[in-house]
């Protein structure tokens, strides 16, 4: 199983930190090319593999950690995802006033899914502030929870296994248009950080 993080900003770095902690290899790509990811790899160790965007987009599981509005550009080169899993960590935000973007009532992940033909989309890693996501998720008698929603239960299960490998306790919210709405930006689960006690 190969993993990739698209984006090396606040969320991409937070997740890269967790992959490195558990020595799980992960490709990391951004818009500027692998050289710009090298300092992060030097800081976090050999699990972090700076690559070109095209290589990252070919991983078995691809995590989108780019601005919502940048997803179309980031994934434009992939015309068929062939059933691969894409984890949508984005939030659709109006940055002028930090309000939820107007999406005509559609879940933000449905709009992302339209950009990913043939992908199995999982919404996750989007509710925690980057600093919380970057902190150690396990230890001290518990595991930080992460919410997962997907229209594909098997993909949600695959994500849950990854989340557990990284030290999180996943909570399955069900379908994107049901539980997933609770976790999208502006929903009641936004920003809440829960710990599951061991
Ligand atoms: N920050 C938070 O606390 C937080 C919490 C939950 C969810 N989120 C969501 O997570 C996503 C990422 O947020 P962030 O705070 O990490 O943003 P960020 O710090 O601005 O980082 C964005 C990353 O996306 C990359 N990128 C932008 N356009 C790209 C493209 N076309 N192709 C490839 N890479 C591209 C950028 O590349 P370069 O490095 O080359 O510029 C950068 O590495 C957003 O959707 C945000 O709403 C953020």
**Mean local confidence (pLDDT), 167-188:** 97
Which class does domain 3-197 fall in?
alpha beta
Q: Is residue 68 within 6 Å of ligand 1 at its C-beta? A: yes
pLDDT tens per residue across span 36-86: 999 999 999 999 999 999 999 999 999 999 999 999 999 999 999 999 999
Closest CA to 78 of 46, 54, 59, 111: 54
H or E element that contains 12: helix 10-21
Closest CA to 101 of 149, 147, 150, 67: 67
Q: Is residue 89 within 6 Å of ligand 1 at its C-beta? A: yes
pLDDT of the residue at 163: 98
Q: Is residue 11 within 6 Å of ligand 1 at its C-beta? A: yes
The overall pTM is greater than 0.95 = yes
**pLDDT exceeds cutoff 90 at 124:** yes
Averaged confidence pLDDT in the chain: 97
Report CA(198)–ligand 1 centroid distance (Å).
32
pLDDT of the residue at 141: 87
Q: Where are the domains of the chain?
A: 3-197
pLDDT tens per residue across span 100-115: 999 999 999 999 999 9
pLDDT tens per residue across span 153-164: 999 999 999 999
pLDDT tens per residue across span 128-153: 999 999 999 998 889 999 999 999 99
Direct distance between the N- and C-terminal alpha carbons of the chain, in angstroms, rounded to an integer? 28
Q: Which residues, in sequence order, are bridge partners of residue 146? A: 170
Q: Which atom of ligand 1 is nearest to the CA of 68?
A: 45
Q: Which atom of ligand 1 is nearest to the CA of 91?
A: 47
Q: Is residue 12 within 6 Å of ligand 1 at its C-beta? A: yes
> pLDDT exceeding 70 applies to what percent of the chain?
100
pLDDT of the residue at 60: 98
């Amino acid at each position: 199983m190969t993993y990739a993080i698209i984006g090396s900003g606040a969320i991409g770095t937070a997740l890269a930190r967790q992959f490195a902690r558990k020595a799980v290899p992960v490709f990391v790509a951004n818009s500027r090319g692998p050289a710009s990811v090298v300092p992060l790899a030097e800081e976090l160790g050999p699990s972090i593999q700076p690559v070109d965007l095209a290589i990252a987009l070919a991983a078995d599981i691809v995590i989108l950690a780019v601005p919502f509005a940048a997803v179309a550009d980031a994934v434009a080169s992939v015309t068929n995802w062939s059933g691969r899993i894409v984890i949508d960590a984005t939030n659709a935000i109006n940055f002028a006033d930090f309000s939820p973007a107007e999406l005509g009532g559609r879940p933000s992940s449905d709009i992302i899914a339209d950009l990913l033909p043939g992908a199995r989309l999982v919404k996750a890693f989007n509710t925690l502030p980057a600093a919380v996501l970057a902190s150690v998720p396990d230890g001290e008698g518990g595991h930080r929870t992460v919410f997962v929603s997907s229209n594909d239960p098997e993909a949600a299960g695959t994500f849950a296994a990854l989340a557990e490998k990284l030290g999180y306790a996943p909570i399955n919210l069900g379908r994107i248009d049901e539980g997933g709405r609770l976790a999208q930006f502006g929903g009641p689960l936004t920003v809440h950080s829960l710990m599951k006690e061991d």
